[in-house]
Amino acid sequence: MTETPTQMTESIGMTETAGASADRRTSEPAVLVLEDGRRYDGRAYGARGRTLGEAVFATGMTGYQETLTDPSYAGQIVMMTAPHIGNTGMNDEDMESARIWVAGFIVRDPSRVVSNFRSQRSLDDDLAEAGIVGISGIDTRAVTRHLRSAGAMRSGIFSGDDALLSAGEQLDLVRGGAEMAGLNLSGTVSTTEAYTLPAEGERVGSVVVLDLGVKTSTLKYLAERGFDVHVVPQSITAEEVLAMSPDALFFSNGPGDPGASDRHVDLLRTTLREGLPYFGICFGNQLLARALGFGTYKLTFGHRGINQPVLDKATGRVEITSHNHGFAVDAPIDRVSESSEGFGRVEVSHYDLNDNVVEGLNCLDIPAFSVQYHPESAAGPHDANYLFDRFREMVVANKETNA
């Protein structure tokens, strides 16, 4: 039976011996290799072997468990810029999906001791159990500065027997890995079977959630707003969605290049033309942009962390938000645009104050909006949680209008 995001992995050990076992293991050599030839020697962390993926950095001071279990990180080797990682261990409650999704994990100083009343096991043990190859003991500040300048790039971590490969062999493996641009990963992270979460409290309707890498917190917040949440595989057709007679449609976050998801764009266009209200986050924001006729592009090093300042143009309020995106929407932030696909007027509702990247879209003539960041705030601040209320209000108003 297909696991849902709320079905958690079993405990794989107690934390009492985590520090001692980590001490024994971290003496083994490992190396991080970037596709431009740069190498960083460190110590093995987690599983042993080799892993390939796009090297990116996440700036959150906390929330490593939510980061690791976020399906949007599939195919990426994630480096934490905070130096001390693992001190609060791992637990079942903070899992954002049923497994760890990162391709690899880079930390500077892994905690030797787990100390938290909620901890059920160590981070190192979870990584090893999940087969996630990691590296510790490298200068993550230096790697971050390099990626900020050169951009996110293909990379590999090599430990165990793979650490003994020649530098040339390791670099060839890295350069033979997949590029994130043009990569469709939706089929990798999506559920294969539909399932439903019932509405909590006063029921306002039903929403179909297209699982492109959805997080547990997102489903929880939708159910708390009175929606019966029908989570469906990314392979569903527009006709199948409409046959379910939902009150709204939601596209989730997820990994990969939005330019490689033509089928999902066509699905969204069909349902929007049927008047179905829509809310999308992260990947869902990029797919709404494409459905409306805008383009997307790859950011140099992306936004990943829980401290990104975003301006809400309607209120002038600055929100501190959680981000995880390597692609962005190409749309003007200073004026209202006309959808080339016939959906009327569209405005950029939010943008990032660090670099003016588009962080939200609002359709003025159809019931649809989206944001690029993560209002479910797992992990991160709760500044944007109100967007789930806005979605509820939009769906209720649409039902009253069409009653």
Please list the residues that pair with 45 across neighbouring strands.
Answer: 134
**Cα radius of gyration rounded to whole Å, the chain:** 21
385 neighbors 221 (Cβ within 8 angstroms): yes
The residue annotated as part of the active site, out of 54, 66, 96, 376, is 376
To the nearest 10°, report the CA torsion of 337, 339, 342, 344: -40
- Examine the residue annotation and report whether 54 is marked as an active-site residue of this protein: no
The residue annotated as part of the active site, out of 35, 96, 282, 350, is 282
DSSP states of 198-243? ---SS--EEEEEE-SS--HHHHHHHHHTTEEEEEE-TT--HHHHHH
228 neighbors 205 (Cβ within 8 angstroms): yes
As a whole number of angstroms, the distance between CA 46 and CA 39 comes to: 19
- Examine the residue annotation and report whether 282 is marked as an active-site residue of this protein: yes
Q: Which residues are annotated as a binding site?
A: 72, 254, 256, 283, 286, 324, 326-327
Q: Which DSSP category does 304 fall into? A: E
Among 45, 47, 38, 69, smallest CA distance to 144 is for 38
249 neighbors 290 (Cβ within 8 angstroms): no
Query: What phi and psi values does residue 228 have, to the nearest 5 degrees?
Result: -75, 120
372 neighbors 285 (Cβ within 8 angstroms): yes
Q: Which residues are annotated as a binding site for L-glutamine?
A: 72, 254, 256, 283, 286, 324, 326-327
As a whole number of angstroms, the distance between CA 26 and CA 87 comes to: 16
DSSP states of 44-76? EEEB-SEEEEEEEEE--SS-HHHHHT-GGGBTE
Give the burial string for 6-22 (b: 16+ CB within 10 Å, else e). eebbeeebebeebbeeb
- Examine the residue annotation and report whether 325 is marked as an active-site residue of this protein: no
How many CB atoms are located within 10 Å of the residue 157 CB? 33
Kindly list the catalytic residues. Answer: 282, 374, 376
